[in-house]
Amino acid sequence: MATYETILVETDSRGTKGVTLLTINRPQALNALNSKVLEELIHAFAAYQADATQLCAILTGSGDKAFAAGADIKEMSDKAAADFFLDDFFSPWTAEIVKKTRKPWIAAVNGFALGGGCELAMMADFIIASDKARFGQPEIKLGVAPGMGGSQRLTRAIGKSKSMEMCLTGRMMNAEEAERSNLVARVVPHEELIAETLKTAATIAGMPPMAVIANKEMVNSAFEMTLDQGLIVERRIFQILTASEDKAEGMAAFIEKREGQWKGR
């Protein structure tokens, strides 16, 4: 297994078969996302994607205070506009992590998820938040604006009015408001965040693998396509799944009143 400086990786985390736990591990900087974190997360997500024994991942932050307090301001402060432009700064987050990870991953938000931290959480397939989680896009206070998807993914998640208010004022949203606004799937007591997220991830990891990937692809299509196009994608994927061995097994298991034994084909 690779060793990393800024993240921790645990496969079959805490005995949970099929679940990989990734932890951003810069608690002294509130898990701010510098280029090393990006490089290592790209590597770790690729390893998760390639490991056929793992079917769900969780991303969280170390320490008690932050999931991630944003892109690393100290690293960005000396860069010139040309550097950001020529490097297409921030583009690998979506291109290398979101687009290339076909298997699901859950953000377990354990504290501040601000700026790039909020944006990273929103890249996950869904968010489970601790009751101490705080979400925000405070970039405006730094004289900039979201750069890792905040203005787009936040607006799609919670609607224009709330997203606009958050981006223009930089105010934070607590976990209760985030759940009410559909930003997060569920809020759990802080101390139970990882245990609860592991349970949800274990449920996913126990499902037929092709169906897991197919379901993720379908729901994501809803963000990219018109309703007519999305419905076609959904039907075609459904039809392809009916040719799988796991479809035959799943339906037989239902009729025979037993648990399915998945082959992943």
The site for ligand CAA (CB under 6 A) is made up of: 29-30, 32, 69-74, 90, 112, 114-116, 119, 138-139, 142, 146-148, 150
Distance in Å, CB of 121 to ligand CAA, minimum: 12
Residue appearing with tokens 């690393």: 72
CA 213 from centroid of its chain's CA atoms: 14
CB-nearer residue toward ligand CAA: 104 or 147: 147
CA-to-CA dists, residue 218 to 104, 105, 251, angstroms: 12, 15, 21
Residue 80 burial by Cβ neighbours in a 10 Å radius (0-12, 13-18, 19+):
exposed
- Which one from 29, 57, 71, 205 is the annotated catalytic residue? 71
CB 125 within 8 A of CB 106: yes
* Type of residue found at 219: V
Please give the sequence-ordered ranges of beta strands (E in DSSP) within 142-255, or none if there are none. Answer: 173-174, 186-188
The smaller minimum CB distance to ligand CAA, of residues 72 and 234, is found at 72
* 196 tagged catalytic: no
- DSSP assignment, residue 5? S
Nearest CB to ligand CAA, comparing residues 40 and 139 = 139
Pairing of strands 126-130, 134-136: unpaired
Tell me, yes or no, if 75 is annotated catalytic: no
Compute the distance between CA of residue 32 and CA of residue 7 in angstroms, rounded to an integer. Answer: 12
Active-site pick, 44, 57, 119, 211: 119
217 is catalytic: no
Catalytic residue among 139, 150, 179, 250: 139
What is the C-alpha separation between 85 and 265, in angstroms, rounded?
43
Smallest gap, in angstroms, from Cβ of residue 79 to ligand CAA?
12
Catalytic member of 18, 70, 115, 116: 116
Which residue, 138 or 209, is less far from ligand CAA as judged by CB? 138
Q: Which residue has the tokens 């223009």?
A: 168
Q: How many residues appear in the chain? A: 265
Active site residue 139: yes
Q: Which is nearer to ligand CAA, 38 or 55 (CB)?
A: 38
Smallest distance from the beta carbon of 30 to ligand CAA, in angstroms? 4
Contact between 173 and 166 (Cβ < 8 Å): yes
User: 124 — phi, psi (to 5°)?
Assistant: -65, 165
Catalytic residues: 71, 116, 119, 139
